[in-house]
């Protein structure tokens, strides 16, 4: 079993830095990175191998290396230095959001119903394109050849309803019909298409997992699972969790969202601990503003109280430097909670409950969208937004706790 299951405090330094400015990433120092991670007193660090821009931080043979590194393998150096500090290295890799691949291979791109093939900063690649699928597996083979204990695959979901040629051909081959353009949960044809999207995504994730496992049997592998609370649009269903060794994903919706998400993650996770990711900064648009020590302590303690591994996300400065004060604060938080972390590691507790709540991803839909064309709901869905449509569940939990003082588990479908 992977050593990651002994890690109850974890960290990631977000590193989606372009190469458009010749100064970007030129001051990154793997040794300083390792010092900062050690200072934060975590058990595990997730290290970027390839970011949303499609920039690799190692000398890739199948993709694109960040040009400002001038060939230096900072991923490999960082993995070794972190490992030498007794910290478990996990590789970060992104699919779907992969700018370089999408820009250089037009036939790999997802397309929405307006024929647009990207959104803002990110260009989308399609899991149904066989050549892109081969590319993903080849890049992951490079990454896991390094001495990492696990790999996190980000953005394993549909950011749009895709109408690319690969999707249209696959759906027509399976059903002899065109992809429907009208959302209607009372229409069997629309529901059939949605179930196809879910199945395609499951197959994509499972094939990635099998490919990684074949090369490195003892490695842990997980896929981004935050869409579990975000509804039909991203097309993750309950079976998707089977492609991951444990539940993992990032959330930014505050304490009530965390209280719900940790319980759902616990119920879905094949192994414990699951990990609950959230930013150490106030929000993702302002990474220079840091949460207070008290707020981070409360967040970490909430995850621990629900049996999970706490996971904070920092963001690197564009030149590649890190802010030492952030890691001093994280170190204080982790030191304060050390005794609880050690007890969790020893006992490996699982949530028990007096009341079960049924949670169905298949029914997480919005009937008020019935009759709307896909063109009318473009751009309103994001896995980064605070979740507002789980309010009734949270209110129900609060009501039951107020009257019956119950603990909860989730029955899943």
Report CA 71 to chain centroid distance, whole Å.
28
What is the per-residue pLDDT across 309-319, written as a single tens digit (0 to 9) for each? 999 999 999 99
| Per-residue pLDDT at 319 | 97
8 Å CB contact between 43 and 49 = no
What is the per-residue pLDDT across 243-276, written as a single tens digit (0 to 9) for each? 999 999 999 988 889 999 999 999 999 999 999 9
8 Å CB contact between 95 and 59 = no
What is the per-residue pLDDT across 180-237, written as a single tens digit (0 to 9) for each? 999 999 999 999 999 999 999 999 999 999 999 999 999 999 999 999 988 899 999 9
SS (H, E, C) 108-172: HECCCCCCCCEECCEEEECCCCHHHHHHHHHHHHHHCCCCCCEEEEECCCCCCCCCCHHHHHHHH
Which domains are present in the chain?
Answer: 3-412 (3.20.20.80)
Residue 116 has pLDDT above 90, yes or no: no
Cα–Cα distance, 34 to 352 (Å, whole number):
38
Using N-to-C axis directions, what is the helix angle for 30-39 and 324-336, rounded to 10°? Answer: 30
Cα–Cα distance, 406 to 354 (Å, whole number):
6
pLDDT range class, residue 406, cuts 50, 70, 90: very low
Cα–Cα distance, 183 to 237 (Å, whole number):
18
Global confidence as pTM: 0.92
Any alpha helices (H) in 216-337, and if so which ranges?
Answer: 255-268, 293-305, 324-336
């Amino acid at each position: 079993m992977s050593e990651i299951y002994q890690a109850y405090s974890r960290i990631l330094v977000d590193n989606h830095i372009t190469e458009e400015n010749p100064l970007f990433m030129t001051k990154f120092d793997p040794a300083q990175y390792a010092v900062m991670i050690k200072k934060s007193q975590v058990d595990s660090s997730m290290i970027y191998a390839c970011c949303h821009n499609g920039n690799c931080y190692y000398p890739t043979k199948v993709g694109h290396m960040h040009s400002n590194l001038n060939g230096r393998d900072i991923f490999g150096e960082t993995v070794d230095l972190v490992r030498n500090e007794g910290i478990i290295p996990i590789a970060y890799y992104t699919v779907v959001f992969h700018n370089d691949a999408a820009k250089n291979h037009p036939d790999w791109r997802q397309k929405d119903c307006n024929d647009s093939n990207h959104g803002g900063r990110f260009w989308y690649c399609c899991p149904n394109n066989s050549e892109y699928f081969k590319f993903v597996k080849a890049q992951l083979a490079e990454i896991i050849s390094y001495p990492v204990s696990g790999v996190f695959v980000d953005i394993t979901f549909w950011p749009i309803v895709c109408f690319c040629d690969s999707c249209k051909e696959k759906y027509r081959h399976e059903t002899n019909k065109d992809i429907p353009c009208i959302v209607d949960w009372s229409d069997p044809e629309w529901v059939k298409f949605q179930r196809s999207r879910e199945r395609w995504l499951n197959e994509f994730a499972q094939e990635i997992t099998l490919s990684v496992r074949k090369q490195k049997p003892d490695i842990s592998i997980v896929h981004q699972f935050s869409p579990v609370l975000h509804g039909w649009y991203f097309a993750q269903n309950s079976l998707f969790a089977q492609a991951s060794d444990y539940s993992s994903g990032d959330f930014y919706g505050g304490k009530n969202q965390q209280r719900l998400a940790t319980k759902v993650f616990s119920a879905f996770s094949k192994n414990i601990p699951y990990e609950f990711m959230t930013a150490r900064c106030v929000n993702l648009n302002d990474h220079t503003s840091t949460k207070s020590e008290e707020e981070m302590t409360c967040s970490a303690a909430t995850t621990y109280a629900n049996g999970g591994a706490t996971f904070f996300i920092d963001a690197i400065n564009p030149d590649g430097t890190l802010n030492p004060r952030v890691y001093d604060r994280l170190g204080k938080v982790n030191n304060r909670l050390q005794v609880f972390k050690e007890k969790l590691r020893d006992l490996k507790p699982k949530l028990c409950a007096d009341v079960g709540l049924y949670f169905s991803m298949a029914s997480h839909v919005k009937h008020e969208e019935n009759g709307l064309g896909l063109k009318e709901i473009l751009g309103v869905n994001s896995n980064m937004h605070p979740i507002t449509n789980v309010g009734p569940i949270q209110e129900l939990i609060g009501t039951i706790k107020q009257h019956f003082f119950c603990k909860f588990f989730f029955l899943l479908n």
